[in-house]
Amino acid sequence: MTSQDAEPNTVRRRVLVHGHVQGVGFRMSCQRRAADAGVGGWVRNTERGEVEAAFEGPPRAVDALVAWCRQGPSWARVAGVDTIDEAPRGESVFTIR
C-alpha cells in the first residue's frame, strides 16, 4: 500500500436527515453515539424539519454514524439521508447546536 492508497486518519462528513426526525430524541442519541465513538462535530435541527449533522474522526467511526443516521433512534422515521464529504476542521468534541 502506498501513501496515496492509505486511508486518511480523519474524515469529515455532513449529513442531512429527512423524515420524522425531530422530537424523537435524534440529536441526543446522535451525540451519545458520536461521543462513544470518539467522533467530533455537531448535530442540530433545521427550520425545515430535518436533522443536520457533521461528523469528524476516524473513517470507520464516521461511516458507522452515517449508517446509524439512515435509521436513527426507535421513534424516528427516516425517509432519506443526503451526505457530503468536507475537509476536516479539527473538531474533536461533539455538540448539540
* Cell matching residue 68: 446509524
Q: What is the DSSP string of 7-24?
A: PPS-EEEEEEEEEE-SSS
Q: Is 9 a catalytic residue?
A: no
Choose, from 9, 12, 13, 27, the residue flagged as catalytic: 27
* Backbone angles phi and psi of 37, in degrees to 5: -90, -5
Q: Is 45 a catalytic residue?
A: yes
SS3 of 27, please?
Answer: helix
Residues 16-26: b if buried by 16+ CB within 10 A, e if exposed: bbbbebbebeb
Choose, from 45, 48, 77, 89, the residue flagged as catalytic: 45
Where in the sequence numbering do the catalytic residues fall? 27, 45
